[in-house]
Structures are given as C-alpha cells and as structure tokens.
Structure 1
Amino acid sequence: MYSLFVKYYEEYLSNQGLSEKSIEVYIVDVLQFCLCPQVVDMMEGRCRSHEALQGFYRVLSVEYQPKSLQRKMVSVKNFLRYLFESGEIEEDSYRNFKFKVPQSKILPKFIPKSDLRAIFQFLSDDLAKSDSRELYRKKIRQGSVIEFLYLTGVRVEELCLLTPEDVLADEGVVLINGKGGRQRIVPVDIANTNFLSLYHNEFLKLSAAAKRYFVNNWGNALSTQSVRSLVRDVSQRAGVEINVTPHMFRHTLATNLLENEVDLRVVQEVLGHSTVKTTEIYTHVAISHVKKELQRKHPYKFDVKS
C-alpha cells in the first residue's frame, strides 16, 4: 500500500533538485514512519495525521540523538504535506503538531592546530619526494583535496559534485552547490595555493572530460568514500593520532575563523548554513578551546598560585 506512495514521493523529491544522498536519507525516514501502527489508522481514516506523527515522535525520542530526531520529524512532516496536497489524506492536522528537540550537548570535533600543521607539512614534504610522474600526480591530488576541504569548509558530497565550471579561477571564487539546491560563493585564490594551483594545471583536461573537478589518474570522479580514505591515509601517515574525517576540516575552519574574530554571518555564508543558529554551535567550540588553553597556560597558575 505504502510502497507506491513512497515511490511517487521519491520521484517528487528528485524533481526538487535534491542530491541522491539526501533523497536516500529522507526515504529511509519515511519508510520508518510507515512502519508505525498509527499510519495504517491514518490512511484508513481512523486517526488524524497529528496522532500518527505523535506516535512516531514518541518512538524516536527514546532511540535517537537530537540531530537525527529533528531531521526525521521534518522529513515525515514534509511527506505528510505531500500526501495531503496529493489528496491521499483528507486533513492536515500534522501542521499543528509541535515537537521539542532537546539541545545536543555534543560539540563538533575539530582538528587541533598542531595536527593541522603536521598534515600540511607532511603533504609538502611528501610531494617533494615524488620520484615518478604518476606518484607526483597522486600527491598533488591528495594535497589539493585536503587543501580545498580546509579552504572552503565544503561537505564531502559537495566536493565530489564540484564541476570544472564551478571553479572560477580567474575570478578567485568557487560556486558550491549545497543542501536543498542552495548555491553559495566561496572565495578561493587558486593561484596562491600550494596544491590547488598545481592540480588545476595538471588535471583540468581530465576534469573537463569527467564533468567533475576532482578526478583520479584515470579521469573518473572521486567518490565520497575515496575522499574519506584519502584523508584517513594522509592524516595517519602524517603521524596524527586522532581519527580525521573530511567533515572535521569543515568544523576546524569554522572554529578557527571564529577564533580569529571573523563575523558570525560571514562564517554562515561560507558554510552555507540556512540559519545562523546552526553556525552558533561553533562559538561554543571556540569558547571551549579557550577555556582549556587558559586552564593549562593562564599566568595565574604560574605567577601567583605557585
């Protein structure tokens, strides 16, 4: 019964310009909702849509972290709106259902500056040791991917979907196609980078053929998994002990920009957050880092207390 509705909804989402990854996540949320007993009653008119949503919320609030809970509830409310506008359900009481999501206490993980320096130093030293053209090209690509992640704060999916037309080297900007079809402009002076400038000259023909900016030696677009593997391999070889992921460069950029007193709205624009509230969590990370540094290095500890 529900499989047809979900199939039509998936087609509807595809027409909204969402990425395949986003659609996949939203459909999983909807399928999970369809397993709730109240959904059968709702479709057969024995209960209202807000009651079905309430039953789903009760289950989620026990099992899921705040961020996942928020996303799943929004996903399902959008699905119910689709059903109502398509005439599959006759009332829209789901609109009036309000839910509270507890504030997450988990702060974003960032890369300490010493580890960040170690990664980029390793990349430079490793490139200098290249003894073949194939190895040289591989190391250029490794360096350019990591450099781009930190310069722009892009999500790994956004990096993999980047096209040569999105990289406006002469203008010094990159067009990033983000969540929900939103596009943002991020300044990147490629000519003055250590690795991207080399990559741009070396791989541009392959990129044009693949219609993706970041490609491997065979001209195939990089996958999200290959980027994650690349970051993990480089960070481990650089001697970094923490588990570094591509998304941590995004967190690190945001935290370091705020530590350098860059305006919160500017950071919001760079990261592509729809609201400044999402960006504000990085202020807590920056403050937390300051607290730790003061606890370790405040002169009171050495000049007075001792």
Structure 2
Amino acid sequence: MSTSDVIADYLNHLAVEKGAATHTLAAYRRDLARYQEYLDSVGVEELRSVDSGHVEEFRGRLGRGDREAGTKPLAASSVSRTMSAVRGLHKFAAKDGTVTDNVAAAVALPSSGQRLPKALSVAEVFALIEAAGDTEVDTDPGRIRNRAMVELLYSSGLRASELIDLDLDDVGAVVRAEPGEFAAMRVTGKGSKERFVPVGGPAREALGAYLVRARPALNTAGKPALFLNKRGDRVSRQTLWQLVGDSARRAGIETEVSPHTLRHSFATHLLEGGADIRVVQELLGHASVSTTQIYTKVTIETLREVWAESHPRAK
C-alpha cells in the first residue's frame, strides 16, 4: 500500500472508530500531509520502507526548517503535535499489519514545556463582554450576535468549535427556562462526547436578545445554525476569533486574546471561587482530570503573585 493509502485508512479509522472531531481530523490531515511530502522528497513511496532514521530526520526538519523547501522552523509545541500524528499513523499501520514494526515508537517527542494558560481577570472579561456589544442599545444585528457569542463562551466554558457548531434547537431548553431557574444546554465536544454546560443569567439575556432582535434579520437562508453571519450562513471560526480579538482591543486589553482565553478564564475563575476540580473537569469536557489540573497551577501562581506584592515579609 502507498503511504497516501495508509494515511487515508488511518484518518478514516480516527473518524469512524475513534469519533474524532472535524477540527481534530483536519489537523491530523495537515500534519500527515507534511509527513508524506517529506517521504516523497526522499524517495519513500510505501510506509513499510520507512525506518526510524526517516522519522528522526523528519522531526529534525520540523524543528530547524528546510531552506530548500522554503519551510520555517516550527515551535516545539507544533513539532510535538505533528510527531504525535506520525506516531499514531505508524502505530495504526503496525497494529493493522500493514507494516511489521512501529519504527516511530522509539522516536521521542520534543519537550515543549508546560505553559500556563492565559486567563483574564474578572474585570477584563467584563470589559471585553461590554465591548462586544450592548443588547440594550445596539440595533446592529452583528453586535447583538457578538455579545451573545462572547457571553456564552465565558458563561459555559465552550470551545470555539462547540460554540459555532450550535444549532437553534440546542438552546431550546435554555430559552424556555424561567428567570432564576438553573439552565443548561447539551453540547457535543471532542470525540463526539456530549455534556451539559450551564448558561448564566446574563448569557441567557444576551441570547434571548439575539434570537428576538438579530437572528431573524440574519436568517436569510433558513439555516439551522444558531449563530449566523450576514449571508445567513453559520459563523466561521475566523469571524469568532476576530470579534473576540477586536473586542479585547476596544476594552483596552493589551495581551492577545482568543476564544480559548475565555475558556481558560472560565476554568480559572471557577477554581478561584472554590469550585471542585472534578466539577470543572466535567464542565470543560476533559477526559482526564490531569488536563484540568493545569488550571490549579494558574490559581497558585496568582496566589504567589498577590502574596509577593502584598505581604510585608515576602521579600
């Protein structure tokens, strides 16, 4: 089998048997296309002809770039992600019997270090939300929609893909909930896993304003998507990233802010408020609590900074 055939089988395996999310599959497809380009450049047409030296050389090229091919060095985190895809491919091929040995098993992943997630302060989040739109005075459907999107990101800790993948039917229970009543909605996360996330009062109010005053004007194509653009299509990831970044700049926030920053802030603020880490794990949709534990380091770092600045005997 050619390398491209094995890659196609592996991606199909991830989609059908592992239930990988669309965005995860897209990332694997890009990383493995880069791997195939390298193998083609060194004259390797079949995966069974690959040895550990090829895998090591590929990893090295990712880190240092390739001037002849016009590629720049990748960050350690990007190298690690790409190599994870490569190792997964070889593991699959060995288990499937396409190759006899997993030649990538012994190739170590680069250490990217454990970077703490960036979280905004509560005041910064509030300022960003206000900058996104004002549902009481705005008449522009786009700004009313933007306010609802940002409110939901922070209120529920959603991933960007989870937010834009929402359909109108997904928020029916939230819209029908009485004021003061606990409201939650079902979302589909990574690996097609479903979970319930809470929707707070301000987010519900912003969502209600969007559904009544903005979505009817945007719904020119009869699409089921919850959040629509001016053409009546589902809002794109690029649009979401741009509106969050623009709102942050209008709010005077100097650091780079993305939709994931609001997810980080959601988790950090819950833990700082005394939430149990297992509850936060469930709300975030993490498969393992070890993934969630990084946020405890964020709160510890915050405590350290406050102590160092405030305690008379800290220095």
- Farther off after superposition, 278-287 or 209-218: 209-218
* Aligned amino acid, residue 229 of structure 1: Q
1:184 aligns with 195
Separation in structure 1 between the aligned mates of residue 127 and residue 208 of structure 2, nearest angstrom? 21
2:85 aligns with 75
Instruction: Write out per-residue CA displacement over residues 194-234 of structure 1, whole angstroms, 9 at most, x where no aligned residue.
Output: 41232244456649931211113443210001111111222
Match of 2:33 among 23, 31, 34: 31
1:119 aligns with 128
Relative to structure 1, the CA distance from residue 207 to residue 12 in structure 2 (aligned partners, 3 Å threshold; closer, same or farther) is farther
Match of 2:271 among 258, 275, 280: 258
Instruction: Write out per-residue CA displacement over residues 1-40 of structure 1, whole angstroms, 9 at most, x where no aligned residue.
Output: 4334434444444435434432221022223333258893
CA RMSD of aligned residues (A): 3.3
Map 1:60-99 → 2, pairs under 5 A? 65=75, 67-89=77-99, 91-94=100-103, 97=106, 99=108
Instruction: Say if 1:210 and 1:220, in contact at 8 Å, map to a contact too.
Output: yes
- Specify the SS of the correspondent of 1:184: strand
User: Aligned residues: percent identity?
Assistant: 29
Map 1:12-161 → 2, pairs under 5 A? 12-16=13-17, 17-34=19-36, 35-36=38-39, 40=44, 43=47, 45=49, 52-57=54-59, 65=75, 67-89=77-99, 91-94=100-103, 97=106, 99=108, 102=111, 104-123=113-132, 126-130=134-138, 133=139, 135=140, 137-161=141-165
- Specify the SS of the correspondent of 2:255: coil
Relative to structure 1, the CA distance from residue 4 to residue 122 in structure 2 (aligned partners, 3 Å threshold; closer, same or farther) is closer
**Aligned-pair distance for 1:105?**
3.8
Instruction: Say if 2:3 and 2:47, in contact at 8 Å, map to a contact too.
Output: no
**Aligned-pair distance for 1:115?**
1.6
- Specify the SS of the correspondent of 1:107: coil
Instruction: Write out per-residue CA displacement over residues 72-100 of structure 1, whole angstroms, 9 at most, x where no aligned residue.
Output: 233123222443455432x1435853735
**Aligned-pair distance for 1:247?**
1.1
**Aligned-pair distance for 1:236?**
2.0
TM-score by length of 2: 0.78
Separation in structure 1 between the aligned mates of residue 114 and residue 227 of structure 2, nearest angstrom? 35
| Gapped regions of structure 1 (runs ≥ 5) | none
TM-score by length of 1: 0.80
Instruction: Say if 1:268 and 1:275, in contact at 8 Å, map to a contact too.
Output: yes
- Farther off after superposition, 140-149 or 169-178: 169-178
- Size of the aligned set, in residue pairs, is 294
Does 1:288 pair with 2:301?
A: yes
Separation in structure 2 between the aligned mates of residue 230 and residue 61 of structure 1, nearest angstrom? 32
Map 1:188-199 → 2, pairs under 5 A? 188-189=199-200, 193-199=204-210
| Gapped regions of structure 2 (runs ≥ 5) | 65-72, 178-182
Instruction: Write out per-residue CA displacement over residues 120-163 of structure 1, whole angstroms, 9 at most, x where no aligned residue.
Output: 34456x44443xx4x1x332211101101101111212211112
Instruction: Say if 2:170 and 2:187, in contact at 8 Å, map to a contact too.
Output: yes
**Aligned-pair distance for 1:43?**
3.6
Match of 1:222 among 229, 232, 235: 235
Separation in structure 1 between the aligned mates of residue 227 and residue 196 of structure 2, nearest angstrom? 18
- Specify the SS of the correspondent of 2:44: helix
Instruction: Say if 2:63 and 2:74, in contact at 8 Å, map to a contact too.
Output: yes
